[in-house]
Amino acid sequence: MTPLLSLRHVYKAYGDPNDPLHALNDVSFDVQRGEFVCMVGPSGGGKSTLLRLIAGLLHPSAGDILLDGVPLRQPSSRIGIVFQNINLMPWRTVLDNIALPLELSGVGREQRHRVAQELIHLVALDGFAHHYPHQLSGGMQQRAAIARTLAHDPDLLLLDEPFGALDALTRERLNRELLRIHNMRGQTILMITHNIHEAVYLADRVLVLSARPGVLKCDFSIPLPHPSSEDLLTDASYLQWVRRVRGAIDDTAPADLPGPPQDQT
């Protein structure tokens, strides 16, 4: 079966062609339909660059990115991206923010509002449809942003550290909701995170990307039960996986640096 997403020898370099800055070096991997994949690695690696390449916002310097076997040259409506910073439009209500992708593709007002209302329910923002973003907490805003990305029902959801700016408790709750949405709608998810626990808890697979130039170091399949339950967090095999992933990240750190960035938990 063709994988939903394929990266074939993807390179990305920035800046001066004579003295380029290599963000990604020969990255290849597949993501199967319905998988939940997390990508971890030291900051300053090419993780965000990789996500923007897949979203079609940047073009690879070399290599191919295939969606269902077809090369991707520009943003596709089958791929949705949630950015690290919450970026709702402050002048639009929650409803109109969520309906934005449909509005841009010419869906009528009534229908897009109906879809948006369903999504508001999905992300548990009932009653906040006509609020403005500044009236919501950070966690609620990011839920609205996720709902917006789901509006045109993309096959692949890209998440760039979506909960990085939120407090630990909100983050945990939103992670659980993300799993719930993933299980309910079956979307394929590729998510960047700094948090190894989060990655092991959420993902079917964890990719480890090294620092510049970004090279895919490890590709772990996490054989832990899904949907994950709270009990898992104290489970010995879970902790073992966390240690393995961390070990892989530590190995990627350049020797002349004081040490790898530690995850916060």
Partner 1 sequence: MQTSVPPPVSQPLSVRRLQLIRVALAPLTVLLFLLLWEALVRWQDYPAFILPRPIDVWHKLLLMLADGTLFRHTTATLIEIVGGLVLGLGLATSLGYVLAKSPLLNQILSPYVVALQSFPIIAVAPLLVIWIKASVLRTVIICALTLFFPALVNTIVGIRSVEPELMALMRSLRASRWQIFTRLEIPAALPVLLAGLKVGTTLSVIGAVIREFVGANQGLGFLINLSRGLLDTSLLFVALFTLVLISLGLYGAVSLLEYRLLAWKRVA
**Interface ranges with partner 1 (CB under 8 A):** 52, 55-57, 74-77, 79-81, 83, 85, 87, 89-93, 100-101, 103-105, 131-132, 134-135
User: Whole-angstrom Cα distance, residue 104 to residue 209?
Assistant: 34
CB 57, min distance to partner 1, A: 6
| Cα-Cα end-to-end distance for the chain | 38
Q: Which is nearer to partner 1, 59 or 243 (CB)?
A: 59
The dihedrals phi and psi of 42, each to the nearest 5 degrees, come to -60, 150
Q: Which is nearer to partner 1, 55 or 245 (CB)?
A: 55
Q: Which is nearer to partner 1, 83 or 220 (CB)?
A: 83
CB 48, min distance to partner 1, A: 11
Q: For residue 55, give every residue at least 6 positions away whose Cβ sits within 8 Å of its Cβ, in sequence order, or none.
A: 75, 79, 81, 158
CB 51, min distance to partner 1, A: 10
CB 132, min distance to partner 1, A: 5
Q: Which is nearer to partner 1, 52 or 246 (CB)?
A: 52
Q: Which is nearer to partner 1, 26 or 103 (CB)?
A: 103
Residue 108 buriedness (CB in 10 A; 0-12 / 13-18 / 19+):
exposed
CB 55, min distance to partner 1, A: 5
User: Whole-angstrom Cα distance, residue 146 to residue 178?
Assistant: 9
Estimate to the nearest angstrom the gap between the alpha carbon of 206 and the chain centroid: 12
CB 100, min distance to partner 1, A: 7
Q: Which is nearer to partner 1, 94 or 179 (CB)?
A: 94
Q: Give the E-state strand segments of the chain in sequence order.
A: 5-14, 21-31, 36-40, 62-67, 70-71, 79-82, 156-160, 188-192, 205-209, 216-221
